[in-house]
C-alpha cells in the first residue's frame, strides 16, 4: 500500500510538472517572444500581458514542482537496492545541492556548469539500457557539447571562437540525431498510425522552415539551446521522430516514456538555465529507470526492470561468494 501511495504521489507530481511546463513553454517562451514581432499587435496589449502573467505563474509552479520531483526521484533511487539506481539517485541529489550553492553564491557559475554536466553524464550512464538508451545518450552528449561551449567562453575557459562553433554544431547534430532515433526508446516497432503521424509532422515542419526559416531558427535557439544552423529538413526529421514516439507511447499508455520525451524537448541541450537542465534530468531518470513505473506498467519496461534486477542480484551473489 505504501509503495502504491508513493507511486501515485510521484505520478501526481509529474502531472503538475508536465502541465505547468506546457503552459510556460507555450505562453512565456513562445507566445510572448513571437507576438511582439507581429505588426499592429499593440492593440492587444492587455491580452498579451495577461498571457505573460499566466506564463510566469506557470513558470514558478514548474520550478517548485521540479524541485520536489527531483528530490522525490533522487530519494526513490537511493532507497533502491540496485547499485546503478543508487548512483543515479545520488547524482540527482548532488545536482540539487550544487544548484542551491550556485544560487547562494557559494559556487561560481563555471563550477556549477561543469558539475552539472558531470551529473548529467553520470545519470545517463547509470540508467543505460542498451540500444533503447541511444537517443538519451545522443541528447546528453549534445548537452555536454553545448554546455562546454558556454562554460569554455568564461574566464579561464580557453576556447577560441572556432572551437566554440565546432562544439555548437556538434551539439546541434547530436540533438537532431537524438530526435531522429527517438523511436528506439519504445523498445518495439511503433504502430502504423504513429508512423503516419510522424511523417505528417516531418512534412509540416519542413514546410514551416521553408516558409519562415529565420523565425523558426529563433524559436529553436530560445527553446532548444542551439542556433538552428542545420537545414530545416534535419529538424523536421527529428521532430517527426519525436511525434512518432509520443503518439505511440500515448496510445500504449506508456506514460513514463511520453513524459520523458516531452521533458527532454522542453529542457533543450546545454546549460540554458538550471530550470531547463532540471527538466532534462527528470527526463533522463524516467527514460533510464523503467522500474519507476507510473500507472500501468508497460510490458517492455517490466521486462527491462526484471532483467536489471536479476543482473544486479547475480552480481551481488558473485561478490558475496568471494573469500
Residue-wise pLDDT for 47-92, tens only, equals 778 888 999 999 999 999 999 999 999 999 998 878 889 999 999 9
Task: Please give the share of the chain, as a percent, with pLDDT higher than 70.
Answer: 81
d(CA 96, CA 91): 9
Instruction: Please give the model's pTM, rounded to 2 decimal places.
Output: 0.85
Cα–Cα distances in angstroms (integers) from residue 302 to residues 25, 214, 249, in the given order? 32, 44, 15
pLDDT tens column, 211-242: 766 667 777 777 788 888 888 899 999 999 99
Q: Classify residue 54: in a domain, yes or no.
A: no
- 116 contacts 277 by C-beta, under 8 angstroms: yes
Q: Classify residue 181: in a domain, yes or no.
A: yes
Q: Is the pLDDT of residue 178 over 60?
A: yes
d(CA 77, CA 81): 8
- 226 contacts 175 by C-beta, under 8 angstroms: yes
Q: Classify residue 190: in a domain, yes or no.
A: yes
Q: Classify residue 23: in a domain, yes or no.
A: no
Q: Classify residue 258: in a domain, yes or no.
A: yes
Q: Classify residue 73: in a domain, yes or no.
A: no
Q: How many domains does the chain have?
A: 1
Q: Classify residue 18: in a domain, yes or no.
A: no
Q: Domain span at residue 256? A: 83-312
Q: Classify residue 76: in a domain, yes or no.
A: no
Amino acid at each position: 500500500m505504501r509503495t502504491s501511495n508513493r507511486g501515485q504521489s510521484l505520478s501526481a507530481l509529474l502531472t503538475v510538472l508536465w502541465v505547468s511546463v506546457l503552459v510556460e513553454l507555450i505562453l512565456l517562451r513562445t507566445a510572448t517572444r513571437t507576438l511582439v514581432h507581429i505588426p499592429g499587435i499593440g492593440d492587444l496589449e492587455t491580452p498579451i500581458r495577461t498571457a505573460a502573467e499566466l506564463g510566469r505563474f506557470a513558470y514558478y509552479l514548474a520550478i517548485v514542482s521540479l524541485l520536489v520531483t527531483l528530490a522525490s526521484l533522487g530519494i526513490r533511487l537511493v532507497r533502491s537496492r540496485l547499485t546503478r539506481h543508487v548512483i543515479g539517485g545520488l547524482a540527482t541529489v548532488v545536482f540539487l545541492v550544487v544548484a542551491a550553492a550556485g544560487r547562494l553564491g557559494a559556487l561560481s557559475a563555471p563550477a556549477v556548469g561543469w558539475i552539472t554536466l558531470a551529473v548529467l553524464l553520470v545519470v545517463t550512464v547509470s540508467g543505460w539500457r542498451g540500444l533503447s538508451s541511444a537517443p538519451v545518450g545522443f541528447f546528453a552528449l549534445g548537452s555536454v557539447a553545448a554546455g562546454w561551449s558556454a562554460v569554455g567562453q568564461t574566464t579561464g575557459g580557453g576556447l577560441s571562437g572556432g572551437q566554440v562553433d565546432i562544439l555548437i554544431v556538434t551539439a546541434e547534430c547530436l540533438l537532431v540525431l537524438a530526435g531522429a532515433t527517438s523511436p528506439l526508446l519504445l523498445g518495439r516497432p511503433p504502430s502504423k498510425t504513429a508512423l503516419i503521424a510522424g511523417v505528417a509532422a516531418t512534412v509540416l515542419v519542413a514546410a514551416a522552415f521553408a516558409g519562415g526559416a529565420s523565425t523558426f531558427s529563433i524559436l529553436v535557439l530560445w527553446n532548444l539551446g542551439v542556433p538552428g544552423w542545420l537545414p530545416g529538413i534535419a529538424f523536421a526529421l527529428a521532430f517527426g521522430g519525436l511525434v512518432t514516439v509520443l503518439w505511440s507511447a500515448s496510445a500504449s499508455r506508456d506514460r513514463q516514456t511520453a513524459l520523458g520525451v516531452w521533458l527532454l524537448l522542453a529542457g533543450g541541450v546545454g546549460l540554458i538555465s538550471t530550470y531547463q537542465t532540471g527538466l532534462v534530468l527528470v527526463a533522463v531518470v524516467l527514460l533510464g529507470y523503467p522500474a519507476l513505473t507510473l500507472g500501468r506498467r508497460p510490458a517492455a519496461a517490466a521486462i527491462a526492470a526484471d532483467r536489471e534486477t536479476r543482473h544486479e542480484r547475480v552480481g551481488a551473489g558473485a561478490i558475496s561468494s568471494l573469500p
